Structures are given as C-alpha cells and as structure tokens.
Amino acid sequence: MLSKSRSHQLWLAIAGATFVIGAALAIYISFQAGCTGDLKSGVYGNPLRALELEKLAIVPHIASAVAGGIAVAVLSWSKNRAAHAVGFAILAFGCLWILEFQVEVYGVQACFGSTGNGMG
C-alpha cells in the first residue's frame, strides 16, 4: 500500500510524463502534416493526407492538456484545485494548438522550401 505522499508523487510522475510525451507527439505529428502537404493553399504535397495527420494529432493534444490539468491538481493543495486544473488544461490546450499551427508551417517550409512570403 502506497502512502499518501507516494501516491501523489506517482500520479504527478504519470501525469507529467503523459503531458510531455503527448505534447511532443502532437507537435511531431503536426510537423509531419506540414511535410505531407500545405492545407492553407493546397499547392504543396497531399493536403488530404495532411488533414488526416492533423486529425490524428488531436488525440495526444487532448491527452496532454488533460494530463497537465491532472498534474496541476496533484500539485495544488488549495480547495480550488479543480478550478486550477481546468484552467491549466484550457491554457495548455490553447497554447499547444497555436504551437502546432506554427510547427506545421515550419514543416511546410522545411520540406517544400517555401519561405512563406509568396516568393517561392
């Protein structure tokens, strides 16, 4: 039987690892989506396959945000820890979403040689 302190440490380790691994996986899939095709213009690569990859990235994206919220709940000793957890999960979800958009653009530029300024 684990003590309460050990139980908290275990939950924190699992949630923290899931948060980091989920975010890394979502970012990696977004980069691969950018390398597969450009969804904005449809000029480069295979936009349909890129859309499939973007849909696939949502699973680790959500898992990462939820795990981050759980980690915050475990760390918080306040009676408002549920609110802290939900707030962090929403913030993490939004930040990761914006980061994934940027990484996808980097993927298009890296794999298709586009500078993004319309000059080729």
In a domain? residue 118? no
> Tokens 């390398």 sit at which residue?
35
In a domain? residue 120? no
In a domain? residue 97? yes
pLDDT interval class at 2 (50, 70, 90) = low
In a domain? residue 116? no
In a domain? residue 119? no
Cα separation of 83 and 72, whole Å? 10
Question: What percent of the chain has pLDDT above 70?
Answer: 92
In a domain? residue 71? yes
Q: What is the pLDDT of residue 120?
A: 44
In a domain? residue 1? no
Cα separation of 74 and 12, whole Å? 6
In which region does residue 44 sit, left (phi positive, over 0), alpha (psi from -120 to 50) or beta (all else)?
beta
Q: Which residue has the higher pLDDT, 116 or 20?
A: 20
104: CB partners within 8 A, 6+ apart: 30, 31, 33, 34, 39, 54
In a domain? residue 16? yes
Domain count, the chain: 1
Q: 41 pLDDT exceeds 90?
A: no
How many other CB atoms are there within 10 angstroms of residue 87's CB atom?
Answer: 13
Q: Could you tell me the residue range of the domain that residue 85 belongs to?
A: 8-110
Tell me the average pLDDT across 74-94. 92
